[in-house]
Amino acid sequence: MQIRQLARGADDGFRSPLAPGLKSSEDGERLAEELAFATARLARLETDPPGAYAEVAGAGDVEERTWLAFLIAYLCPLNGDDPFAAIRAARTSWSSGEEPDLSEVRTGPRTANDPARGTRTLDAYRAWAARSGSQASAFGGEPAWSPERRFARAFERLALPGLHRDARFDLLVTLGRLGVYDLRAGTLEFGGANETTLAAKRALGIGDTLLLERRAAQLAEAARLPLEALDVGLHNWGAGTRSTMGLEPTAEPDPTALDSTRAALGL
């Protein structure tokens, strides 16, 4: 059993009804900065996607672009000057049917890859897509579905062996933000022992999943943030270190989002 001690700022009397779990203005400031950074990342995905994300957003074959998006979410970009180096090295094409060699692959902070599992998760993903006829059909769902319903159904159906909540959520967010499919998160899909859920419980001061979703939505609305920004933002805040998630190491928080989040929290 691994016991992890979470770093906390000293109780300085700070209180916020939007984040009742926080007792420190230092913790509140860190949370605001990470939420603003996550907001900046979402904006970059839509307007100027970095690295391999640009290929996913491009005009190539949608099956190959979707497969690349899956590999990015599954392996997770590295922190550093070349976040996609390991993904490029391991990548295979969808059409070849060959799985990447993951025996010595380097992975990022939110990876779902477990060397002991080999390619079982990748095999399960290919089988999942095959049941719908293609990846595009699997993610597209029914034409009449709203973007939120399409997201929720895909998230549920992607509960494959080894594909944890963080990888599933980020995959769907990036596919939506990059314009590959009409996907938008209506909830944060909290649950399990992942960093985002644990951080949400700590910051929002409650463990019940339904109430946690409600409080997260209230925080996003009050701070004028995209709901999806709370995923990476809470993860980074809880981990105590910033996963840049494909952005360059010099990337900064969105200043407008930072101001609005500070104001909402009462900092």
The string of pLDDT tens digits covering residues 62-71 is 999 999 999 9
- The number of beta carbons lying within 10 Å of the beta carbon of residue 85 is 15
Is the residue at 112 inside a domain? yes
In a shared domain, residues 69 and 42: no
Is the residue at 3 inside a domain? no
Residues with Cβ within 8 Å of 13's Cβ and at least 6 positions away in sequence, in order, are none
Is it the case that residue 3 has pLDDT exceeding 90? no
In a shared domain, residues 38 and 146: no
pLDDT number for residue 2:
35
In a shared domain, residues 74 and 142: yes
Is it the case that residue 256 has pLDDT exceeding 50? yes
Domain boundary among 112, 146, 177: 177
pLDDT tens digits, one per residue of 26-78: 999 999 999 999 999 999 999 999 999 999 999 999 999 999 999 999 999 99
In a shared domain, residues 41 and 53: no
pLDDT tens digits, one per residue of 211-250: 999 999 999 999 999 999 999 999 999 999 999 999 999 9
In a shared domain, residues 196 and 154: no
Q: 220 — phi, psi (to 5°)?
A: -60, -45
Q: Which domain holds residue 59?
A: 49-177
Domain boundary among 142, 177, 212: 177
Q: Cα(267)–Cα(249) distance, rounded to whole angstroms?
A: 26
In a shared domain, residues 38 and 54: no
In a shared domain, residues 207 and 132: no
Is it the case that residue 6 has pLDDT exceeding 70? no
Number of domains the chain contains: 2
In a shared domain, residues 168 and 54: yes
Is the residue at 115 inside a domain? yes
Is the residue at 94 inside a domain? yes
Residues 202/194, Cβ–Cβ less than 8 Å: no
To which residue do tokens 């916020």 refer? 16
Residues with Cβ within 8 Å of 27's Cβ and at least 6 positions away in sequence, in order, are 8, 9, 14, 203
Domain boundary among 177, 202, 223: 177
